[in-house]
Amino acid sequence: MGKNEKKTITKQAVDFPAWYQDVVREAELAEVSEVRGCGIVRPYGLKIWELIKAELSRQLEADGVENVYFPIFVPLENLEAEQDHVEGFAPELAVVTHAGGEELTNKLAIRPTSEAAMYKTYAKWIQSYKDLPLRLNQWANVVRWEKRPRAFLRWSEFLWQEGHTVFANETEARAEVEKMLSIYQSLYQFLAIPTFTGRKSESEKFAGAVMTLTAEVMARDGKAIQGATSHYLGTNFAKVFNVTYLGADGETHFGHQNSWGLSWRSVGALIMVHGDDNGLRLPPNIAPVQVVIVPIYKDDATKSEVLAYCSDLNQSLSKQYRVKTDVRDAQTPGFKFNYWEVRGVPVRLEVGAREAAAKKVTLFRRDTDTKEEVDLDHLPERLQQLMVEIHDNLYQQAKALADQNIHRIESWDEIEGQTGWFEASWSEDPLTEKQLKEKYGLVSRVLLSTQEEVAPKNSKCFISGKPAKHDWLFAKCY
RNA sequence: CGGUGUGUAGCGCAGUCUGGUAGCGCACUUGCCUUGGGAGCAAGGGGUCGCAGGUUCAAAUCCUGCCACACCGACCA
């Protein structure tokens, strides 16, 4: 049977969302649960998230951020304290009304995010300017009852990290907002994913924030995914929860707060950016299995010889890589090739009697779907190169595709019939954004940081013709 | 919340129009045989046909009501 005759994955070009669902299922990353909108993440999918988490943890720790844990329940009245915040989240709140067999007088929201859960306590912890900055991070699950869930990208319950920090003044706080964005940018770099970083428009910013920064990612179908956010909250929450400190000047001041987060939506981005018609393609940094060894044998004699060769190989390589030898006996080599390709394993080593005798391996790389023969002596060196090469290649492919799909337009009429992202000079008038959404389903995604201090290419807004302020990126989004 | 569609074995589906013993492919179990791109043969196991009610000698199939889920939109950090 030919390679393409048993495909259970829809082609990207035929139906991208269907392709995405197929990959999530076939690669055994996750499946839908019996609870609407909630997913079951399987070991292979969770491992990817854990590897992402490990890298981000490393970076946050290196930056001096400490971890903390607050309860999953938030008194509803706390959430209602900040007006913009509650209006932003009210429609998607899950609320506990009964517990211990009784109706609760004070209803408990399941946290959709933890500003309202943490800052009352922050107020107790902070007395003096000497207690600042306070920089804490929480790895947690949150619940947002979204109208339309989507695997990893928008499940009702999801895992993330949320950083919540307090500074003495605006300058320090804003500097950190930028810094966290650059950490997210480097994390996505770690995933071989190019990001478009900058500021959100007024209507797209976080409910309760003064300013929201974002790392936007382009999926292969030209839609946008918000990969991470970093918010400057100003003193909005500080005023509500009384986060104040006594300054060196003997006066009481409000703390300037930030919050920043990244969720396992990043796993969804990983799939949508790198995946192809054969399934996942994982960058080595976060591949649960970096090298898979597939033994090939014909009879008992070659079997023991080949397995011994594989076992030595596995042992020496596993000092440096996450290695797995697929010793299942009931499956043919061809089956295993496809099995691990769908799962995106970057490098596969095929080992039969031929290789064992010649002290070689046949090496297959998933990013290019090509094979090469490598002498055992040269394998460590070749693998070391390849891990870098594969990462770079995946990044370059993603970067090229993204750049190619950003179209400069001077008038919104040019959107007609085109897909992808659009760069345009914009007045930043919320009304025009609403019109754009209604007419083309597009929203503003980001004002690139590099464009912040630059005059727009066109002095007139591409929608209203009124004076433009900056060049923004617009897109449909997940 | 609007539009469309789907609920039959773990997964994918046929059967419903025209009522009459619950089927197919994949997966699973056992055995043999095989292994360089999703092997083959044989024998097996697995079902309140989404739920409730109704019509009928008889309902997966017809009628009524309900529920759930998916997709497209609206919504959404």
Give tens-digit pLDDT for A150-199. 889 988 899 999 999 999 999 999 999 999 999 999 999 999 999 999 99
Strand-by-strand arrangement of the A360-365 sheet: A323-325, A291-295, A347-351, A360-365, A370-375
Q: Which nucleotide is nearest to A300 (CA to C1')?
A: B35
Q: Which CATH architecture has domain A16-274?
A: 2-Layer Sandwich (3.30)
Is the CB of residue A42 inside 7 Å of nucleic acid strand B? no
Among A23-32, A223-232, A396-405, whose mean pLDDT is lowest?
A23-32
For residues A322-348, give the mean pLDDT. Answer: 94
Q: Which nucleotide is nearest to A337 (CA to C1')?
A: B37
A144 CA from B51 C1′ (Å): 29
Q: Which residues from the 379-408 window of protein chain A have CB within 7 angstroms of nucleic acid chain B?
A: none
What the block records as the tokens of A152 is: 């990893």
Give the residues across from A438 on adjacent strands. Answer: none
Q: Which nucleotide is nearest to A25 (CA to C1')?
A: B11
A162 CA from B42 C1′ (Å): 58
For residues A14-40, give the mean pLDDT. Answer: 84
Which fold does the domain A406-475 belong to in CATH? Translation Initiation Factor IF3 (3.30.110)
Q: What is the β-pairing status of strands A323-325 and A291-295?
A: parallel
A259 with A247: CB under 8 angstroms?
no
For residues A255-280, give the mean pLDDT. Answer: 95
A275 CA from B30 C1′ (Å): 39
Is the CB of residue A352 inside 7 Å of nucleic acid strand B? yes
Q: Which nucleotide is nearest to A39 (CA to C1')?
A: B69
Which chain B nucleotides are covered by protein, judged by CB under 7 A? 1, 28-29, 34-39, 68-77
Is the CB of residue A464 inside 7 Å of nucleic acid strand B? no
Burial of A425 (0-12, 13-18, 19+ CB in 10 A): buried
For residues A444-459, give the mean pLDDT. Answer: 96
A102 CA from B54 C1′ (Å): 39
What is the predicted pLDDT for the residue at A2?
A: 30
Is the CB of residue A437 inside 7 Å of nucleic acid strand B? yes
Q: Model confidence at A326, in pLDDT bands (50, 70, 90)?
A: very high
Position A425 pLDDT exceeds 80: yes
Q: Model confidence at A91, in pLDDT bands (50, 70, 90)?
A: confident
For residues A361-389, give the mean pLDDT. Answer: 97
What the block records as the tokens of A256 is: 């300037």
Minimum-distance residue to B75 (CA–C1')? A147
Query: How wide is the angle at C-alpha A398 spanned by C-alphas A59 and A27, nearest 5°?
Result: 80
Burial of A336 (0-12, 13-18, 19+ CB in 10 A): buried
Position A83 pLDDT exceeds 70: yes
What the block records as the tokens of A305 is: 């010889």
- For chain A, the average pLDDT equals 93
What is the predicted pLDDT for the residue at A146?
A: 83
Give the residues across from A226 on adjacent strands. Answer: A216
A145 CA from B68 C1′ (Å): 17
For residues A465-475, give the mean pLDDT. Answer: 96
Q: Model confidence at A445, in pLDDT bands (50, 70, 90)?
A: very high
| A106-110, Cβ contacts within 8 angstroms, sequence gap of 24 or more | A106/A75, A106/A76, A106/A77, A107/A75, A107/A76, A108/A73, A108/A74, A108/A75, A108/A76, A109/A73, A109/A74, A109/A75, A109/A76, A109/A79, A110/A72, A110/A73, A110/A74, A110/A142, A110/A143
A267 with A29: CB under 8 angstroms?
yes
Position A351 pLDDT exceeds 50: yes
Distances (CA, A) of A394 to A4, A17, A122, A190, A275: 23, 21, 42, 11, 10
A186 with A63: CB under 8 angstroms?
no
Q: Which residues from the 69-128 window of protein chain A have CB within 7 angstroms of nucleic acid chain B?
A: 88-89, 91-92, 112-113
Return residue ranges of chain A for CATH 3.40.50.800: 284-396
Q: Which residues from the 166-185 window of protein chain A have CB within 7 angstroms of nucleic acid chain B?
A: none
What is the predicted pLDDT for the residue at A102?
A: 87
Which fold does the domain A284-396 belong to in CATH? Rossmann fold (3.40.50)
Q: Which residues from the 293-312 window of protein chain A have CB within 7 angstroms of nucleic acid chain B?
A: 296-299, 303
Q: How many residues does chain A have?
A: 478
Return residue ranges of chain A for CATH 3.30.930.10: 16-274
Q: Which residues from the 232-271 window of protein chain A have CB within 7 angstroms of nucleic acid chain B?
A: 261
Query: How many other C-beta atoms lie within 10 A of the C-beta of residue A67?
Result: 13
Is the CB of residue A477 inside 7 Å of nucleic acid strand B? yes
Residue type, A33: S
A37 CA from B66 C1′ (Å): 22
Q: Model confidence at A4, in pLDDT bands (50, 70, 90)?
A: very low
A106 with A99: CB under 8 angstroms?
no
Distance (Å, whole) CA A112 – CA A140? 11
What is the predicted pLDDT for the residue at A5?
A: 40
What the block records as the tokens of A418 is: 């085109």
What is the predicted pLDDT for the residue at A6?
A: 52
Is the CB of residue A222 inside 7 Å of nucleic acid strand B? no
Position A399 pLDDT exceeds 90: yes
Position A222 pLDDT exceeds 60: yes
Distance (Å, whole) CA A46 – CA A24? 12
Return residue ranges of chain A for CATH 3.30.110.30: 406-475
Q: Which nucleotide is nearest to A160 (CA to C1')?
A: B77
Q: Which nucleotide is nearest to A153 (CA to C1')?
A: B76
Residue type, A77: E
A75 cis-preceded (ω within 30 degrees of 0) = no
For residues A95-108, give the mean pLDDT. Answer: 88
Burial of A471 (0-12, 13-18, 19+ CB in 10 A): buried
For residues A386-392, give the mean pLDDT. Answer: 98
